[in-house]
Structures are given as C-alpha cells and as structure tokens.
Structure 1
C-alpha cells in the first residue's frame, strides 16, 4: 500500500500528481521548483535564492514523511543553464554532509515548469 505525503510546507501540486509517495519505507518525491508554499509565488530573485527555496520545499516534504536530508539516497537536478551549476551546487551542498551525500545526476534541459531555472526531485529511505 502506498501513502500519499502532503504538506503545506511545500507547494501544492500544479497537475495530476502528489508531492510525494511513501511505499515500503521508500519516499519518492515529485520535482520541486521555487514556489513559496504559503504565497504560491515563484521565488526567482537569483539562482541561489531560487535553489534555497527548492531545498526548503524538499525539507518540508521530508519532515512530513518524518525524514531528514540524511535519508535522501538519490537526487535528480534539472537546470535550464549549466552555467548556473556552481551556484546551485553551492546552495545544495549546505544541506548535505559531503561524506554521506546522496547519489545524483544534474541535467541541463530546454525548459522547466513555469520556466524556472532549477527543479530537484529525490528518493529517500528510512
């Protein structure tokens, strides 16, 4: 049986999907973009602030599933411009211990939902 994870501390879905699904101790989270959960406004001031909002949205989902960043085993990062990688990575790195950081891939894409600059999805396990 799967459990739907929903929290007001991450943006509400903008389509036919859920924020995250918990099944057999594994948490599968939908991609998070920089929508502030309480205002539903995009946070696009600069790439580092945008990335921080994405990571805070991820934190909200993790907390709703009674997990932390230490429980993330895999992330997928989608960015609209690989030139932003260093700044995105700088913010991303503050949420993990480098020695135990999750596996990940980073991919440049043509467009992202709402034409944001970064989207991150993850898989976590207790």
Structure 2
C-alpha cells in the first residue's frame, strides 16, 4: 500500500498557492517531492534581495528545511531542477550549489526561464529517496 503525506515546516516559506512544500510517498522506500523553493526568509516572509549567490543560498536552505522536516538530508536528494532568470548567473550559482551538493552530486537540470515568482533570480525543486530511519 502506498502512503502519501504532505510535508510542512515553519522553517521554509509557506506555500503561496495551491501546492505543498513537499509530498512524501512511502512504498516501502520514501520518495519526497519538494516544491520549488525561492529565496524567501521563512521567519519574516520577506524576499531575500541580493545577487544570485545570496538568493541561491536562501533557496537551498529552504529546500534543506523541507528535507529535514521529512527526515531526509541532502545526501538523499536524487534529482534537482534549477530555474534561473539569467543563465549568465550559472557560474556563481554553481559555486554556492557545490557547497551543499558537491559531495553527493544528484542528477540536475539548470534552465533559464523568462520569469520567476515574485521576480526572484532562482527557484530550486528536488526529489529525494530514502528509507525510514530505525530508532531503537
């Protein structure tokens, strides 16, 4: 039987539309689908202004908050999709991304898009696969 749960955490921005921060599927492995994270400070709800490096760091931290809420880590991320408003920012984005994912190297796509929510420079979504941690 497949078990589906919505993941929500106060440590990532509240959804601004009809979607969840994440959806966890258990059968028996857990598969977590994380909605696109943008650079919003979850404590204030304010957009993080700044260059692509600053915005990337906040978007990744938001993604990590959803991972942790489901009991996962960046090491469980299998696939990442990244949307940039300017592909010329790729090099600077990649430097920050590597700090978080350089050791685990999930599959990834990076594309330029015409526009992102709230005029941000970056949005990141991910899929993580992991097993339940046994607690004794």
Say yes or no: TM over 0.5.
Answer: yes
How far the C-alpha of 1:97 sits from its partner, in A, is 3.4
What's the TM-score once normalised by structure 1's chain length? 0.96
Q: CA shift at 1:37, angstroms?
A: 0.2
Please provide the CA RMSD for this pair: 0.8
> Given the alignment, which residue of 6, 18, 22 partners 1:4?
6
User: SS at 1:16's partner residue?
Assistant: coil
Match of 2:106 in 1: 102
The structure having more radius of gyration, on CA atoms, is 2
- Equivalent-residue separation in structure 1 for 2:99 and 2:120 (angstroms): 21
In structure 1, distance between residues paired with 2:83 and 2:102: 21
TM-score by length of 2: 0.90
Gaps of 5+ in 2: 131-136
Question: Which runs of 4 or more aligned residues in structure 1 lie more than 3 Å from their structure 2 counterparts after TM superposition?
Answer: none
* Aligned with residue 20 of structure 1, among 18, 22, 33: 22
2-side partners of 1:29 and 1:53: how far apart? Answer: 15
Q: How does 1:14-93 map to 2 (within 5 A)?
A: 14-24=16-26, 25-93=30-98
